Every structure is written in C-alpha cells, then in structure tokens.
Amino acid sequence: MKVLKFGGSSVSCPSRIREVIQIIVNCKRDGSDITVVFSAFQGVTDMLIEMANRASLGDNSYSSVFEELRDRHLNAIRELIQIRNQSHILTNTMMSLKELSDILHGVVLIKELSAKTLDLVMSYGERLSAYIISEAIKDVGIDAEYLDSRRLVICDDNYGYGHVNYELTYNNIRDYFSSHSKLQVVTGFIASTKKGNTVTLGRGGSDYTASLLGAALEAEEIEIWTDVDGVMTADPKKVKGAFPVPSLTYDEAMEMSHFGAKVIYPPTMQPAMDKNIPIRILNTLNPSFKGTLIGRKNGDERYEIKGISSIDNISILLIQGSGMIGVAGIAKRVFSALADANVNVILISQASSEHSICIGVMPDSARQAKRSIEKEFAYEIQAKIVNEVSVTNDLSIVTVVGAQMRHTPGNAGKFFQSLGKVGVNIVAIAQGSSELDISAVIQRKNLEVALNAIHNTYFKKSRKASKSFFE
C-alpha cells in the first residue's frame, strides 16, 4: 500500500488534474495498491477565507468571490468528465455549493464568524475537489470511491488546528479500509469532533491526513506530490544554483521545515516517524524524477549540510538587565508570559553571562510579546534592573541543516565566514544542541546575498554534483 497526496498546485486546473489522473492510472497499471488524498484546488482555501471574512462584516460582496469559486468547480466538471456522465455530478456539486452559500448568508446576517464556522466553510475546498476528482477518475475506467475524511479522522474541538485522537482515528481507518476495496479518493485537511462537528488540521493538513492514513494502514511509502522536484538545497527563487536533495532524515526535514522550507510540515511527519514509514516528495510536472526520500537513515553523506532554510521576516525581542544575572526562573517567566499571550517562539539565543535573552517571533506577534514580557517584569523594569524590551524589525533567519555537521569540525566557522566575506552582519546566533543546525539572524535586506554566499560555500559545483546524486 502507498498513500499519494496531491497538493493544490497539482490540482490547480483541469490540465494539471489530468496529469494527476495519469499518474494514478500508471500506478494502477503497475499493480500498486494505492490510496489518494487531495487538497483543495489551488487558491480555493484563500477564497473561502476571504468570503467568510467579508460575510462577517455584513459585506455582500462575498457573492462575487462565491460566483468565481462556483464557476471554477463547475467548469472543472465539464472539462474533466464526459457529457453523458456529468448530470448527477453537477447536481451533487450544486447542492454542496448551496450549503456553502447558506452558511455564508447566515454569517452575513449575524455578522459574526466563529472558528467553528470558519472551519466548516474551509472544509468545502477539499470536499469539492476530492469529489470532482473521484468522479473524473471513475470516468477513465478506474473503480474509485469518494471518501470524506471526517468519517475517519477524529479530533478535539480545537478549531483551526484539531488535535488528532490517534487511537480512535487509526481504528476507524483500519475498519473502513478492511471493507472497502475500491480506490479511495480522500479529502485532506479536514476531520470531525466526536460530536460530528467539522474541524481542520491546520497548516499542511492534507499532508497530515496522508500521513495518518499511511501510519494506520502501515503503508510502504507516503508520496507527497507537489510542483517541485523535491526538497531543495535552498529556495530556488532566491538561489539560482539550488538543486533537489535526494534524501533527508526525519530530523533534518523537521529542522528545515521549522526554518522556512515549505515542502513538508513537521506535524505531517510524526505519524510516519512513529511507524518508520518513508515519505517521498515528488513533482507532478516531472513524475519520472525520483524526488527526495525522507526516512530514518541518512541515505547520502556527500555534503556536510543538506540544505539552507530561511524565514524572510521576523522580529527580535531583547530582554536584558543586571537583574537577570544569577536569578533562577527568569527564562521560565519570559516563556510563560509568551505562552499566556499565545505567542510562538521561533528562535532563542541567550548570552552566557545571563545578562540577556534574545527571542525571535513573527512580526505580527512582536507588539503583543513586548507587552506581555514587560507586564511580567513590571517590578524589575520600574526598579531599573531590567530594561524595557527592545524590538528590532525587518530581520531574517538563515539556517544550515545537516546531520553530518555532528561529525565535521569547522562548520560554524565556515558558515560565519561565508557571511563575513559578503559583508553581512549577524544580529543573533543560535545552534541546536543536536548539532543539526546553525542559525543566524541578519538584516532582511541581506537575505538573498547571504543565501547565495552560504550555498556557494557548501555546495561548490552543485549543479554538476546534483546530476550524480541520482545516477
């Protein structure tokens, strides 16, 4: 059994969907036992969120976006499915769209959008795409069946990012698949509570669905199909010489994901990691390419690092003062204050003197983070033994990741030297105790220069080398 997941870029338009269906046809011809998971059509989730937000303001202009969404799905049916088979599919799709319209009208009337309602609205993206594609697959002669993952994946009621009940979910999946032999075409991203309410799985939710299915069914491999040839050594939009990495460990992939790599997200990997199931990143537009294999073992040790990740825009908060030196519980108070304010911490750096702590957060959280920390240390700030929290904006993080760094001396020196040679100043430094990564905070304006300098340092002649990776 393999689980194949196709993201929004793979189903952006009917021509792309046809390419996806051909991949599925080829798998079936090879005798592969597969299950397929689909995201919403590219951009549809954003459209659903926009409609919901407009409706919550009592703004009826959401209807123009709704019409665009409706036409896009109906046109997909007309282009993908033979005319004689369209009638019931169009009817069922219109019924789903009517339900969505009614929900949005209700939001307009009450001018309120709860997290629960937003999750329900967003669910229509995957429900529409998976249903239409399941019918298109049937139209080419494959015995397929649409499966709404809300029947199987059970979460708590943390709307927007449901926490999965693994035991119940896995049992549901095993029971269902034991009595359904057809090709299952599954909605990604969505689940349900025990009470039957719709909840979404958060960022990378469709990948997460695929991973849950793979873990429950003990799949031999989980394939994540996207629009790139795998996990790249760096962002190809910023680094011209970036090339696909043939293999990563789970730990390397998680570190790269945390620091900006967008191909796969950490929650996706957890069920696969627990069951030691490899994950392969593949390109819908280049299906013969081997892509990147993520697994327990390091399949390639040719380079000291596997890749360079970056986060384009962050803010740094600096907490410092003599009142922090030798005082127990300072870090606890800082992070408790941030947790209470629901602020996610991206990076931490602490001076060995205990005089200061540096915290990296997303820019939209910086003001709240500053208020929360200053509230916690109000007494110390008033006594002038802790300074007011300073915030520096327009910064970026650049991170090198690789398991081989554990065994290779001089990596930190090479990393910092490459930045120094191109005149990039370092604002803060952080290194994980696992030695899997080294991060530097730099001025945002210098990010592209920094990425290219680091890439040239670690991947000299990378283009030529990359060809031999896959021989």
d(CA 225, CA 222): 10
Fold observed for domain 307-469: VC0802-like (3.30.2130)
pLDDT of residue 64: 97
- 84-109: pLDDT as tens digits: 999 999 999 999 999 999 999 999 99
Determine whether 319 is exposed, middle or buried from the number of CB atoms within 10 Å of its CB (0-12, 13-18, 19+). buried
pLDDT at 469 over 60: no
**pLDDT tier at 402 (50, 70, 90 boundaries)?**
confident
> Sheet holding 144-147: strands in order across?
144-147, 183-187, 34-38, 2-6, 221-226, 279-283, 292-295, 247-249
Q: Quick one: DSSP state of residue 380?
A: H
149-162: burial string, b at 16+ Cβ within 10 Å, e else: bbebbbbeeebebb
Q: The tokens 């703004």 sit on which residue?
A: 59
Query: Roughly what angle, to the nearest 10 degrees, separates helices 363-376 and 330-340?
Result: 130
Q: Please, where in the chain does CATH 3.40.1160.10 lie?
A: 2-227
Q: What is the pLDDT of residue 462?
A: 47
**Closest by Cα among 236, 257, 306 to 469:** 306
The model's pLDDT over 168-220, given as tens digits with 9 standing for 90+, comes to 999 999 999 999 999 999 999 999 999 999 999 998 899 999 999 999 999 99
Q: Structure tokens of 279?
A: 């994950």
Range in 44-58, 314-328, 347-361 with the lowest mean pLDDT? 347-361
The pTM (predicted TM-score) of the whole model is 0.87
Mean pLDDT score, 429-448: 87
How many angstroms separate the most distant Cα atoms in the chain?
80
What are the residue ranges of CATH 3.30.2130.10 in the chain? 307-469
Whose structure tokens read 């969907």? Answer: 17
List the CATH code of the domain at 2-227: 3.40.1160.10
Percent of the chain with pLDDT over 70: 94
